[in-house]
C-alpha cells in the first residue's frame, strides 16, 4: 500500500465512522419523535422511504460531480448537508418540517458514500483496492453499532437531544475534512473525467452492468431481512428488543472484523471475484440457517454467518467496478450507491408482504435472491471472457 493511502485511509475511516454514528444516533429515536409530532404509521413509512429515494435519485449526480470538481468539496457538501438536516429535525415542530429535513438530508448526504469510495479508488493500487473498500465498510458498520446505542441513551433525557448530538457530530466531521483530508483527484484527471460518457449508459450497456444488478438483488435481500428479522426472532426464539440489539451488535462487530482485516488479504490472494462469490454463498447459507433459529445463541450465530457473507460482497463489487468501469470512479460508485438504495426501497415492503404470507418466506426468498446474484456474477465473468477472447482474436 502506498504512502498516500496509508495517510488518508485512517482519516477516511474516522470520517465515515463519525458520519455513520451521526446517522445511527437517530435511527431508534426517529419513529417516536415523528409520532410525537403527529405522524401516522403510513407517514412514518414515507418518512423513512423518502431518504432512500433521494439517495437513489442523486447519488450518481454527486459521484459524477466529484469526478469533475474533486472529492473533497463533494464530501464536505454531503457532511454539512447531513449536519443541517439533523439540526432541522431537532427543531421540527410540524410534520412537514421533518419531511423537509429528511428530503434535504437524503439529497445532500447521498454525496458521502460514493465520493468516499471513489476517494479510496483514487489512492489505492488495484492490488490493495479491496482492502481499502473493506476498511470503509468496517467504518460504516461500526458507526451503525455505536450510533443507535448513543441515540437510545440520550433520548431518555429528551427526544430531540439525539438529533442535536448527531448534528454536532456531523459538524465536527465537516471541519475534520476541511483541515485534515487532502484532495485525491488530480486536476488533469478531472479534465479527463468531464469528457467521459454518462454513467447511466455504463449501468445499462457496458460489460460490467451485471455487477450493478448483482448489488441490487443483494440489497433487496438484506433490506428484507432487516425489516422482518425482529418479528421472526420474537416468534421463533422469544427475543425482546434488548436481546435483538445485542444480536445485531455481535453481527456488526464480526462483519467489521472481516471487512477491516480479512477482505484485503483475501482479495490480494484470490481476487475480488472469489470474494464476491464466497460472500454470496455464505449469505445464502445464512438465510437458510436463520430459519432454524430457536434461541438467542442460535439466532446470533446464524445472523452473524449471514452478516459475514453479506459484508464480503459490497467491498468486492466496489473494488471490481472501479477497476473495470469505463467511467470515472465517482460516476461508478454513484451508480452503485443508487442501485443499493433502490434495493433498500424495494426490500422492506417486499419482506413485510412475504412475512405476512409466511414468517419464514422472506428468508427462503433471500436464498433465491442469493442464487440470482450468483448467476449474475457468472454472467459478468462470461462477458469478461468474451471480451478477452475478442481482444486476443
- Residue 375 within any structural domain of the chain: yes
Mean pLDDT by 10 residues, the chain (393 residues): 68 92 85 84 82 91 90 95 94 92 93 93 88 91 86 85 93 94 78 58 70 94 89 86 84 89 88 94 96 93 95 92 80 90 91 91 96 94 80 66
Contact 221, 368 (CB under 8 A): no
CB atoms within 10 A of CB 236: 18
**Residues 163, 271 within the same domain:** no
Identify the pLDDT of residue 393: 59
Identify the pLDDT of residue 45: 79
- Residue 198, C-beta contacts closer than 8 angstroms, at least 6 positions apart: 64, 327, 331
- Residue 187 within any structural domain of the chain: no
Smallest CA-to-CA distance from 241 within 252, 229, 253 is with 229
- Residue 28, C-beta contacts closer than 8 angstroms, at least 6 positions apart: 148, 151, 152, 155
What stretches of 156-295 show up as alpha helix (H) in DSSP?
A: 161-180, 187-193, 199-205, 209-237, 241-257, 263-270, 272-290
- Under DSSP, the state recorded for 199 is H
- Residue 227 within any structural domain of the chain: yes
**Residues 271, 158 within the same domain:** no
**Residues 172, 297 within the same domain:** no
**Residues 202, 259 within the same domain:** yes
**Residues 127, 224 within the same domain:** no
DSSP 3-state of 28: coil
- Residue 186 within any structural domain of the chain: no
- Residue 111, C-beta contacts closer than 8 angstroms, at least 6 positions apart: 58, 59, 62, 65, 66, 74, 75, 77, 78, 81
**Residues 111, 83 within the same domain:** yes
| Nearest-angstrom CA–CA distance, 133 and 11 | 14
- Residue 225 within any structural domain of the chain: yes
Identify the pLDDT of residue 281: 97
Ramachandran class of 185: left when φ > 0, alpha when ψ lies in -120 to 50, beta otherwise: beta
| Nearest-angstrom CA–CA distance, 235 and 182 | 50
Number of domains in the chain: 2
Which residue in the block uniquely carries the three cell numbers 435519485?
57
- Residue 188 within any structural domain of the chain: no
Domain end among 160, 181, 202: 181
Domain end among 149, 181, 213: 181
Domain end among 181, 207, 224: 181
pTM for the model stands at 0.88
- Residue 361 within any structural domain of the chain: yes
Identify the pLDDT of residue 43: 85
Identify the pLDDT of residue 374: 96
CATH number at residue 115: 1.20.1250.20
Identify the pLDDT of residue 262: 87
**Residues 37, 168 within the same domain:** yes
pLDDT digits (tens, 9 = 90+) for 280-334: 999 999 999 999 999 999 999 999 999 999 999 999 999 998 888 767 788 888 9
**Residues 378, 279 within the same domain:** yes
- Residue 351 within any structural domain of the chain: yes
Angle subtended by helix axes 112-123 and 41-69, to nearest 10: 30
DSSP assignment of 99-153: HHHHHHHHHHHTTHHHHHHHHHHHHS-TTTHHHHHHHHHHHHHHHHHHHHHHHHH
**Residues 169, 306 within the same domain:** no
Identify the pLDDT of residue 205: 66
**Residues 167, 199 within the same domain:** no
**Residues 197, 259 within the same domain:** yes
- CA of residue 225 relative to chain centroid, distance: 15
356, with CB counted inside 10 A (0-12, 13-18, 19+), is exposed
**Residues 374, 229 within the same domain:** yes
Enclosing domain of residue 27: 1-181
| Nearest-angstrom CA–CA distance, 323 and 121 | 8
Amino acid at each position: 500500500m502506498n504512502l498516500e493511502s496509508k495517510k488518508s485511509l485512517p482519516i477516511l475511516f474516522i470520517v465515515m465512522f463519525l458520519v455513520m454514528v451521526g446517522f445511527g444516533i437517530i435511527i431508534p429515536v426517529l419513529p417516536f419523535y415523528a409520532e410525537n409530532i403527529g405522524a401516522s404509521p403510513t407517514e412514518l413509512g414515507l418518512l423513512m422511504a423518502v431518504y432512500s429515494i433521494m439517495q437513489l435519485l442523486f447519488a450518481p449526480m454527486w459521484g459524477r460531480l466529484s469526478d469533475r470538481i474533486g472529492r473533497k468539496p463533494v464530501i464536505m457538501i454531503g457532511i454539512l448537508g447531513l449536519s443541517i438536516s439533523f439540526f432541522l429535525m431537532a427543531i421540527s415542530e410540524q410534520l412537514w418540517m421533518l419531511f423537509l429535513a429528511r428530503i434535504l438530508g437524503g439529497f445532500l448526504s447521498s454525496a458521502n458514500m460514493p465520493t468516499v469510495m471513489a476517494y479510496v479508488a483514487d489512492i489505492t493500487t488495484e492490488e490493495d483496492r479491496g482492502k481499502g473498500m473493506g476498511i470503509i465498510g468496517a467504518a460504516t458498520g461500526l458507526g451503525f453499532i455505536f450510533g443507535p446505542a448513543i441515540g437510545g441513551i440520550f433520548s431518555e433525557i429528551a427526544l430531540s437531544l439525539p438529533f442535536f448530538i448527531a448534528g454536532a457530530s456531523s459538524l465536527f466531521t465537516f471541519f475534520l475534512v476541511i483541515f485534515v483530508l487532502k484532495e485525491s483527484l488530480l486536476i488533469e484527471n478531472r479534465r479527463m473525467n468531464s469528457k467521459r460518457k454518462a454513467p447511466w449508459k455504463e449501468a445499462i450497456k457496458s460489460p460490467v452492468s451485471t455487477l450493478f444488478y448483482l448489488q441490487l438483488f443483494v440489497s433487496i435481500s438484506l433490506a428484507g431481512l432487516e425489516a422482518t428479522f425482529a418479528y421472526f426472532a420474537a416468534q421463533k426464539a422469544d427475543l425482546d428488543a434488548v436481546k435483538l440489539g445485542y444480536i445485531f451488535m455481535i453481527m456488526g462487530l464480526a462483519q467489521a472484523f472481516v471487512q477491516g482485516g480479512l477482505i484485503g488479504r483475501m482479495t490480494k490472494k484470490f481476487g475480488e471475484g472469489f470474494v464476491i462469490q464466497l460472500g454470496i454463498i455464505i449469505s445464502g447459507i445464512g438465510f437458510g440457517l436463520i430459519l432454524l433459529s430457536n434461541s438467542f445463541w442460535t439466532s446470533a450465530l446464524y445472523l452473524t454467518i449471514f452478516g459475514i457473507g453479506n459484508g464480503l460482497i459490497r467491498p468486492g463489487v466496489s473494488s471490481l467496478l472501479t477497476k473495470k468501469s469505463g467511467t470515472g470512479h465517482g460516476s461508478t460508485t454513484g451508480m452503485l450507491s443508487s442501485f443499493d438504495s433502490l434495493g433498500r426501497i424495494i426490500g422492506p415492503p417486499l419482506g413485510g408482504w412475504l412475512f405476512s404470507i409466511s414468517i419464514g418466506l422472506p428468508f427462503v426468498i433471500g436464498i433465491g435472491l442469493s442464487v440470482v446474484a450468483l448467476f449474475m456474477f457468472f454472467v459478468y465473468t462470461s462477458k469478461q471472457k468474451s471480451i478477452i477472447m475478442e481482444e486476443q482474436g
